[in-house]
A and B are shown apart, each in its own frame.
Chain A
Amino acid sequence: MNFKRVAALLLTGAMVMTAVPVYAKGDDVTLSVSIWDSNQEPGIKEILADFTEKTGIKTEISVVKWDEYWTMLEAGAQGGSLPDVFWMHSNESERYMSNDMLLDLTDKIKDSDLIDPENYPEDIWGLYTYDDKYYAVPKDIDTIALWYNKTLFDEAGLDYPTADWTWDDVTEAAKKLTKDDGSQYGLGMRNDNNQAGYYNLIFDNGGYIISDDKTKSGWDDEKTIAAMQTLEGWIKDGVMPSLETMSENNEDVLFEAGKIAMTCQGSWMLAAFKENEYTAANCDCVELPKNAETGRRASLYNGLGWAASASGEHTEEAWQLIEYLGSKEAQEKQAELGVTMSAYKDTSDAWAKSADFNLQAYLNMMDDMEIRPYSKSTVTWENEDNEILKGVYTGDITMEEACKQMADQMNEKLAEE
């Protein structure tokens, strides 16, 4: 009897012990790193390995898909268990910064030999600055270009798009590339493709999305509406697949299947198009078209930042990692590996050579850039915009009505911030 009891106790004890995670002791620090893009994982892993070799600090990377990433981060922030080092995005950064969730890097950057704010685009610092304090180091920069399917252009007997194209040329070509039986369309631009899609049209035409002081929506601006009516024209002309089709198979999938001949895509899509045999053989990219009247060719841009948890146990080591990731050496390597364009000035030439496409187009787009519109509640109003825009695709409302509705809801949400 007694023996049984003792045995049971021991077993229970053993179970409890194994349930408690064993923490690394002493100098053996392992930093947890979180990102959301699995396309970038292999390259980032290589850079992290270099870091471990240099400093002896180990890292453990986890990739969580975009939607779940923010749910995870939110829960981590609230429960005090954020990853040590992670990606930040302009959609969410202000909420995290204003609530002191991120490690303040201002003094550390001031003392650093490796990081000089001068070497990165000012607007990207702007995304991760709050009350004049830095909360993240720029990781990358992205611009937009027009992708086209050479084979489909050849079949239709059309010349390939050039840097001199205007959006009207796109419309003309799209009409010729669309087949009546629905087996092929000229163009694809989904209701939620704002940054890579219609935002560019808007800025080309002199419109805007959000005022500089983040208090007013630009959706009801005449120039914004006029630019969006180009998109409405494409919907009405039937040069794009139906929204039903595009929602089931996103633009990039349709493009990879040769079902659409043109699509506007961000530089972050390179990894996917490079890996895909069809796009690698048949497709290429070129600078975005210009606006025929204003002559402007703007590209929306954005950049992620490497941030650290303010409540982490290893903030010193986390800073070392961030400093390394932002350094010229790591930024160059990131470009060379073709992970993404890098935020560090003049390191992206290596990226342009990392694949057999005309990637110089993306670099040329850096001549005239507009930062992706954001405010504290970007996600909320952006999702609502996308929801309203669906009505234009399904023909329930006109673009003008949609723009007015989007302005109203956005102003309402900005007032609540």
Chain B
Amino acid sequence: MAKTTKSQARTKRERSEFLWGWLFILPTTIGLIVLNIIPIFQTIYQSFFKTGDFGKGNIFIGLQNYQKVFADKEIWQALINTFKYAIVEVPFSIAIALVLAVLLNRKMRGRSVYRTIIFLPMVAAPAAVAMVWRWLFNSDYGLINNVFHVHVNWVSDPKIAVFSVAIIGVWSIIGYNMVLFLSGLQEIPRDYYEAASIDGATGVNAFFNITIPLLSPTIFFVLVTRVIGSLQVFDLIYMVIDKSNPALTKTQSLVYLFYKYAFINKNMGYGATIVVVLLIITMILTVFQMIGQKKWVFYN
């Protein structure tokens, strides 16, 4: 008798846990499904249509949008621009953030002040960040050109504009990456470093042989999210590069083109096709990274 009540109680408890568990993740799940997952499929669906005004009168055209995308030089150039941006933003934002995280992980005066300062750009609105940098980079009235007495068209010279934008990207993301690395560093036991220093390892040795391998899961996570994030760059380019800027064709990213076609030219179908292509590229890159991680990421 006593046994049965106990088992009944357990199932009741289990059921209640099950129920409450689902109840608690329900809001997030609903949000995810309504705001992310359904739109993904709608976007894919839309990419097969020549869309009419205000979502009315869509005409099915099969793969024509895709044929147009692959034949469009503008799209290929945008892809190159996006990669150029990513190639600067991802490695630099990770390397600098990693070094900063290691330096700020030690006991030192004003540690939290430094951490706050470096994290601050993350708190600022991207539009505000872009406006400030746009002024810094301004060729005639900008601070950078005036302080160094040079005349460089930082954001309107087609050759360098995309890298200038990437610098802004690095600057604004370092703080976030650093916080992730700091939390990863807390996980590494101090014993390893003590043992290493007894064996005569220098700080640099310890960094490469202890810190990086043991931090590799965090580095991997940051790498994957940053690659995805940089492929989606839009706001910085939109804010910094004006429509009449001669460097626009050499800086516009795929998402920028998506915005242009979907929201300015009101060609939703073509815009949808561009983001589907971006989604596929992102997925391929991520798969390669997942395969590649086996070679360098160590899980305890």
Contact = CB atoms under 8 A, between A and B. Distances in A.
Interface of A is mostly: helix
A22 B140 CA distance: 50
B263 interface: yes
Contacts of B264: 67, 70, 379, 383
Interface residues of B, number: 27
Contacts of B55: 78
A386 B266 contact: no
Interface stretch (A40-48, A94-102, A148-156, A171-179): A94-102
A248 B56 contact: no
Nearest to B238: A67
A101 B264 CA distance: 18
Contact of B246 (A74, A99, A247, A249): A247
A259 B155 CA distance: 20
A265 interface: no
A74 B242 contact: no
Interface of B is mostly: loop
Contacts of A77: 54
A373 to B, nearest CB: 18
Contact of B56 (A99, A259, A377): A99
A162 interface: no
B140 A245 contact: yes
B139 A99 contact: no
B127 to A, nearest CB: 11
B81 interface: no
B139 A244 contact: yes
Question: Which of B156, B244, B247 is packed against the most chain A CB atoms within 10 Å?
Answer: B244
B266 A248 contact: no
A244 B153 contact: yes
Given A244-B156, A244-B157, A245-B140, A74 B266 contact: yes
B265 interface: yes
A5 B266 CA distance: 50
A48 B287 CA distance: 58
B243 A386 contact: yes
Interface string B259-288: 010011111000000000000000000000
Given A192-B244, A246-B244, 17 more contacts: A78-B54, A78-B55, A95-B53, A99-B54, A99-B56, A243-B156, A244-B157, A244-B246, A245-B140, A247-B242, A248-B140, A248-B155, A248-B242, A248-B245, A250-B242, A380-B266, A394-B246
Interface of A: 67, 70-71, 74, 77-78, 95, 98-99, 101, 190-192, 243-250, 259, 377, 379-380, 383, 386-387, 390, 393-394
